[in-house]
Amino acid sequence: MRKAEAQNPSLKYLGIMLAVVFLIAAALLFLEVWEKERGRFPDSGTEDGIVVYRGQTYKYKDTIETFLVLGLDKQDGADPAAAQADGVQTDFLMLFVFDNETEQCAAIHINRDTVTKVKRLSLGGTSVVGTYTEQIALAYNYANSENHKIRCRNTKDSVEFLLDGAKVDHYLSVTMDFVVAGCDLVGGVEVTVLDDFTGIDDALVKGKTVTLTGEQALRYVRTRYGLEDSTNLRRMERQRQYINAWYAKAVSRIKEDSAFALELVDTLGDYVVYDSSEHRLQKFAEKFDRYEFLGIREPEGRTEVGEEFLEFYPDEESLRQLVIDLFYEPAGA
């Protein structure tokens, strides 16, 4: 956002909307790692933000700011405000990493099936009663509280453990219901279908370009079982495809009609909870306007069939290198 524009109240709301849209566009979709005895950086571990990796000493960047986006899978028909009810899991996790020195931003797409350290809290979420090696999607439910923010923070803790203590500064969550409302609000979203949905939605033929409507969009980004490839990795590809298409459509609508931004903000308000002020969200909008976006990254890994569900185990070296790339710099730099 340009300085001259900041004086215009309507553009203030546009800035807030752009921040929310970009940060949660992914979350709108849903869309035993390994509890080792030693740390993720086996060369030396961490101390005061210092790690040694492959013989090189690194320090944690003090210019990093992060924003975790969560997409919640709630019970059908439940009130959006009651998304903290038992049984709710996090279907989509994306961490945005801002470097305020280089003015660059990257995103980490975390597989909801990732097995990692998850805390189970007491009734009301007042204390930790146990720590388990489980799918990260369960962290939200394991918070055992009606307080939505406690559940978000429990998920945040699991993300920090997964990334070897890399700090999550802010979080935002949204229920999957917005996929329906958001898609219809922009007048549908065009995609080229990546999988054969025959028997689930016969209109979604692999390779065919279609304009998704609300309920259809939800099926497209949510479905995994019944498809030829039922892994979450494949579903994540569809989620990213939809994110890009929906975001482009929303921005196009805003450029056509500035009043549409306020309509979108009003719609988002029924589904979104975040821990930041509107002023901070506006600041993030300004950063997205200025910063170079480096793209979305995800750890490599393998999917296995667990006792009941699919489980994703990240490759340790891939995850280690990702953390080094985005959160650290050579010591002495």
End-to-end, the C-alpha distance of the chain in Å comes to 31
3-class DSSP state for residue 142?
A: helix
For residues 146 and 83, give the distance between their C-alpha atoms in angstroms, rounded to a whole number.
9
Question: 49 or 137, which is more confident?
Answer: 137
Nearest CA-CA partner of 219 in 76, 96, 324: 76
| Cα 124 from chain centre | 25
Contact 302, 312 (CB under 8 A): yes
Q: What's the token pair of residue 51?
A: 């790690």
Q: Are 125 and 151 in contact (CB under 8 A)?
A: yes
Which of the two residues, 72 and 38, has the higher pLDDT score? 72
pLDDT 10s digits, 42-71:
343 445 678 888 889 999 999 999 989 888
pTM above 0.85, yes or no: no
Q: Which residues pair with 104 in a beta bridge?
A: 99, 292
Whole-number pLDDT of residue 319 = 93
Name the pLDDT band for 306 (thresholds 50, 70, 90): confident
Is 218:246 a contact under the CB 8 Å cutoff? no
Which pLDDT value is given to residue 332?
Answer: 74
pLDDT digits (tens, 9 = 90+) for 211-244: 999 999 999 998 988 899 888 889 889 988 998 8
- Residues 174-211 have pLDDT tens digits of 887 888 988 999 999 999 999 999 999 999 999 999 99
Please give the domain boundaries of the chain with CATH numbers for all domains.
5-176+273-330 (3.30.420.590)
Cα–Cα distance for residue pair 58/327, rounded to 1 Å: 10
How far apart CA 332 and CA 225 sit, in angstroms, is 50
Lowest mean per-residue pLDDT among 38-42, 101-105, 190-194, 308-312: 38-42
Instruction: Identify the pLDDT of residue 278.
Output: 62
pLDDT band at 35 (very low <50, low <70, confident <90, very high): very low
Alpha carbons within 13 angstroms on the beta-carbon side of residue 99 total 17
- Distance CA(191)–CA(59), nearest Å, equals 42
Mean pLDDT of 14-38: 40
Whether 294 shows a pLDDT value over 80: the answer reads yes
